[in-house]
Amino acid sequence: MANSDKKTTVGHTLGLDSPPGCVWQSLRTMLWSMVVCKAAPWILDFAPDLQTLHNLRLSNRAFYSAYQERPLVLIQQALQRSSPTAWELREMGPEHLERPSLALSPALYMTHYRHELYIISRITAILFSPAERNYLSRNSDALGAVTDALIRIWTFCRLFGGGKCREDDWEGQNDWFAGGVQAHEPSGASVSRRIGYSETIDLAPECFGKGNSGGLSTEQTIQVLRMWQLLRQTLRKRITACLDVQSEHDHIERRINQLSFLGLDAVDHVLVSRNPLKDAWRLLEATYNVDRDCLGEGCHRWLADLAACGNCPLGPVSGVHRGDSFSTVAFQ
């Protein structure tokens, strides 16, 4: 009796005690489930973006189980694949650089990522007029160029600004513009070609320069430089509107150099502040700063290197003025 019950249970599981037409349907379903279970981890590994990863995770139990085994790694892979610049910025977050051994939860990682996107979006809204923002909303390539430039500005400031004393690390800065070529080579090969010591290259994290894969092109570098100039111009206008003493005006350029090099979160804080002058001075008192336009200098050095290789048109990059046409300021 026990054996008979066992056979009935197995037969029921495989659908063998069903009508002939249902047997093949049951076998097909079972085989398909086995295939999905084996393929789910591999498919998740190649999710092209975060939205696709989210949709796959919720598609069925096999994908959900595979996702739950390593959610943070899958999120990082999908973000790197869809936006290398945003991924590098996220990996360069203070919580990674200051506490590299800290294991972030997927939820916290995404919270930081959404906050960075929010800052980028808000600064874009401040920098451009309603008509310009309307153009961006209808032109994904133009919006992508602006967003990537702002993200690269923020990444550069995280790497070389914020009191890290790396403003004179020209070799590290050039290597970042080049996509981290030296940083990701075997140590012996990299050191043998160096002109001087670079702390940035020696201590470079895995993500260093990978948002600039292959090196920034002339157009991308000019885009970064012009967005940087526009950002500083907007910041200068916001702060000088609050000044009423000539002696304070005399020092404004030094303050702009210092404040802008703290990163876009600091710049955003001042731009939206009800008391930008007070908040700007408070931020500058809290950290070591430099009295130079380090990113502007870095962009010009990289453009000079590109020109030496025949990849950049000769001549200086013009400054940004509010009267310039939108296409000239943002997209050339």
Q: Is residue 256 a part of any domain in this protein?
A: no
Q: How many domains does the chain have?
A: 1
Which of 34-48, 135-149, 228-242 bottoms out in mean pLDDT, i.e. has the lowest?
Answer: 34-48
**More reliable by pLDDT, 250 or 109:** 109
Q: Is residue 291 a part of any domain in this protein?
A: no
pLDDT at 121 over 60: yes
Confidence category of residue 11, pLDDT binned at 50, 70, 90: very low
Structure tokens at 119: 């800052």
Q: Is residue 75 a part of any domain in this protein?
A: yes
- Predicted confidence (pLDDT) per residue in 288-300, tens digit: 667 789 999 999 9
Domain holding 77, by residue range, is 29-82
> How many whole angstroms separate alpha carbon 68 and alpha carbon 198?
40
Q: Is residue 43 a part of any domain in this protein?
A: yes
Q: Is residue 249 a part of any domain in this protein?
A: no
Would you state the pLDDT for residue 94?
A: 76
Confidence category of residue 162, pLDDT binned at 50, 70, 90: confident
pLDDT at 256 over 80: yes
- Predicted confidence (pLDDT) per residue in 205-243, tens digit: 899 999 998 999 999 999 999 999 999 999 999 988 887
Q: What is the mean pLDDT of the chain?
A: 81
Q: What is the DSSP string of 194-233?
A: -SS--HHHHT--TTTTGGGTT---HHHHHHHHHHHHHHHH
Q: Is residue 277 a part of any domain in this protein?
A: no
Query: What does the pLDDT average to over 47-59?
Result: 94
Q: Is residue 10 a part of any domain in this protein?
A: no
Q: Is residue 40 a part of any domain in this protein?
A: yes
